[in-house]
Amino acid sequence: MIHTCDALVVCCIDFRFQKFIREFTNERLVGKTFDLVGFAGATKDLATVLKQIAVSVRLHQIKEAYLIHHEDCGAYGKESTPQRHSQDLVKARSVVLAKYPDLSVYLYYLHLDGKFEKVV
């Protein structure tokens, strides 16, 4: 039996942000289905994330990926600056798009107050 879904959401495990991520998916992905994965640092360990994306593409034929980093990320420690997160997100997108050119990849930097900032 084939079951497909619309999107994959990759975020950090950090409990402080889960309610914001739920609100985000409730609004941004209303009416859509999505796989959800949490890794410390979100895409920091890109090889691990790529394996997960490969599974979502193969099993669920996802069309969109939402990569969400956040402020004050313990996995980054002192390197958790907005610049570093943007840099890693942009890199992750280019690696993902090189493998899956048909995927739409959206990047976000999530602030401690729950504000989602789009990274371009």
Q: Which residues bind Zn ion (CB under 5 A)?
A: 12, 14, 73, 75
Nearer to Zn ion, 73 or 103 (CB): 73
Nearer to Zn ion, 60 or 85 (CB): 85
Question: Of 15, 39, 40, 10, which is closest to residue 25 (Cα–Cα)?
Answer: 10
User: What would you measure as the largest C-alpha separation in the chain, in angstroms?
Assistant: 46
**CB 79 to Zn ion: min, Å:** 12
CA angle centred on 4, ends 30 and 88, rounded to 5°: 70
**CB 31 to Zn ion: min, Å:** 28
Q: Assess contact for 60 and 38: CB atoms under 8 A.
A: no
Contacts of 37 (CB under 8 A, 6+ apart): 8, 9, 10, 11, 49, 52
**CB 87 to Zn ion: min, Å:** 16
Nearer to Zn ion, 17 or 100 (CB): 17
**CB 64 to Zn ion: min, Å:** 22
Nearer to Zn ion, 35 or 88 (CB): 88
